[in-house]
Amino acid sequence: VAENNHTLILGFGDRVLEIIRELVIANESEKKPAVVVLSEREKDEMDDFLRERLPDTKNTRVVTRSGSTSSIHMLRRVNATGAKSVVILNDAAIDAGDDEKTLADARVLKTILALISCTGEDNAPPIIAEFHYRNMRNLAKNILPGKISLIDEHSILARLMVQTSRVSGLAQVYDNLVGFEGCEFYFYKPQGGIKGLKYSEVIFRFADCSVLGLRMSDGTIKLNPSPGSVCGDDEVILLAEDDSMIKFLKEPVAVNPPEAKGYLPHPKSVENQLIVGWSGKTSTILAEYRNYLAKGSKIDVIVPEIAEYMKREFASIQKKQAGIKMRLIEGDIHSPATIVKLKPEQYDNVIILSADGGDSELRDSETIATLLQFRNYFKTSVRNDVRTQLITEVADSENIEVIQEAGVKDFLISNQFVSKIYAQVSEEPDVLTIYADLFSEEGSEVYVKPVSRFLSKIPENITFGELCAAAIKRNETCFGVRLRSEETDITKHFGIYVNPPKSRVFSLTENDWLITLSEDDT
């Protein structure tokens, strides 16, 4: 191909459509951008697939070529050396057999080696690759340190499900963060730098961008550092609609700090969680809860039939969960009698997992049927207000409204979510470090907290800049607002406003929330 400085996608897996869709959005301000796809599928088949599902690629040229992704000859034909980044997709589904996944991982590894052979180690573009098994992931990481980004889909989704179960609305916040529609992550260093400024001062040097943290001079990512931290030769991590919106002000944005509350920690409370179904994410979810739950908390997992591998994995995790009660239950969740026996109202959250792999419509249909069972139970059998949250995955984004109709406020569009991360990392590899930090229990994470925790009294009108000033007094970085009155309105992004201008005025009530980076949920 004649393209240069293009994004090269090797393989034609489930993610290819969402990745290209995101890159089309990212490329709108670029001059003659291109995405090149090399796969062993027939060219006509790929072209028809993309033309049918993505008829408008705007200013992005999408080129497909048929051939082996591990052939040095074919990699030269698609100008791998001239690519700005390379995305390698795994051609084995998550529900494939071990032999098939092992072989697919080996093919990805072979493709990485072919790429390096084609371009040379020094000239290799950033590579983003997908593996099923950790040992292969670790092997790939050491081939070319610093050049290869590895995305662990199950780990990301499992951790996000756990965080979402504990912070209502978080899934929709992340949906606003990932991808190129709306806001993007940027690393920015103003002319003259920020040396000598405190982090709390840097926040107010940007009128139309939200500061999230710093990339230190040694490359370390630090989200939500201490307000009094003095900056060195560092870069600012920003959320911005576009790089044209990034303007470093010589003087800070003028705000009148409201009467704000200080930081008042409180102990963790005992929680009860129910997980419905078993997938590749279940073990990670169970293990991840260890970082959040207080002693005396309970986690139950219900599956239609307990397989031997489930017993082994469950028992292994159970041994490490000191002080947390865990049960693996066998039962037909589609039977009303089973739900009555479970008493779902005793749980803080019910996480309904989608099966691995398979047709997305069938998976969502099964999820919707399960949700309807729970909704019917809550309507007919529970008289008091139900505080139990229903949380689930959605395979096809077209089913969102149906999922909401079944009583779910928190849902994760899993394939689309991970695909957007792939697209972002292909444009800026260090974005993966930000996500790794956000999804880790250590350090600061994203929280959606009642505005009453920040303000001693809630004024009739308040600017976003003033809300940022209130948050920083609690050692938190505010980057958004969530309005309860709009939380079910898909046309208004479920009431979520990420990165509004600091001059934006909000009329808040005690039922609304701030979206912040914080070290805990207090």
What is the pLDDT averaged over residues 461-478? 95
Cα end-to-end span (Å), the chain = 55
* Distance separating alpha carbons of residues 209 and 186, to the nearest angstrom: 10
Contact 201, 506 (CB under 8 A): no
3-state secondary structure of 323: coil
Return d(Cα 39, Cα 201) in angstroms, integer.
50
> Is the pLDDT at 386 greater than 90, yes or no?
no
Are 209 and 245 in contact by the 8 Å Cβ rule? The answer is yes
Taking only the tens place, the pLDDT of each residue in 481-510 is 999 999 888 788 889 999 999 999 999 999
For residue 335, CA distances in Å to 330, 369, 379, 422 come to 12, 11, 16, 39
**Does pLDDT of 343 surpass 90?**
yes
Residue 267 has a pLDDT of 62
Band of residue 255 on the pLDDT scale cut at 50, 70, 90: very high
- pLDDT score of 272 more than 60: yes
C-alpha distance from residue 227 to each of 217, 314, 449 (Å):
18, 42, 19
Confidence of residue 123 (pLDDT cuts 50, 70, 90): very high
Predicted pLDDT of residue 87? 97
Average pLDDT over residues 378-400: 83
pLDDT at 262: 65
Kindly state the percentage of the chain with pLDDT values over 70: 98
**Calpha distance 96→101 (Å, rounded):** 6
Where is pLDDT greater, at 134 or 503? 503
Confidence at 479, pLDDT banded by 50, 70, 90: very high
Average pLDDT over residues 394-413: 80
Can you name the residues that pair with 237 across neighbouring β-strands?
A: 187, 213
Query: Per mean pLDDT, which of 338-342, 376-380, 399-403 is the most reliable?
Result: 338-342
pLDDT digits (tens, 9 = 90+) for 8-26: 999 997 789 989 999 999 8
pLDDT over 60 (residue 426): yes
Tell me the torsion sign for CA atoms 383, 385, 389, 394: positive
- In this prediction, residues 283-289 reach a mean pLDDT of 91
Per-residue pLDDT reduced to its tens digit, 158-209: 888 888 888 888 888 988 888 788 888 999 999 999 999 999 999 999 999 9
Quote the pLDDT of residue 478: 98
Confidence of residue 257 (pLDDT cuts 50, 70, 90): confident
- pTM, to two decimals: 0.86
Which positions ≥6 away from 206 have C-beta within 8 Å?
236, 238, 246, 247, 248, 249, 253, 502
| pLDDT reported for residue 263 | 60
Q: Locate tokens 């139950």: which residue? A: 300
Percentage of residues of the chain with pLDDT beyond 90? 64
pLDDT on residue 264: 62
The helix-helix angle for 153-166 and 170-177 (nearest 10°) equals 130
What is the three-class DSSP state of 327?
strand
The pLDDT confidence band at residue 265, using thresholds 50, 70 and 90, is low
H helix and E strand count, the chain: 16, 22
Say what the pLDDT of residue 150 is.
92
Model confidence at 359: pLDDT above 60? yes
Tell me which residue of 86, 97, 88, 110 sits closest to 12, measured CA to CA.
Answer: 88
Fill in the amino acid letter for 405. E
Q: Tens digits of per-residue pLDDT, 24-54?
A: 998 988 889 999 999 999 999 999 999 999 9
pLDDT mean across residues, the chain: 91
At what angle are helices 282-289 and 153-166 packed, to 10 degrees? 50
Helix (H, G, I), strand (E, B) or coil at 497: strand
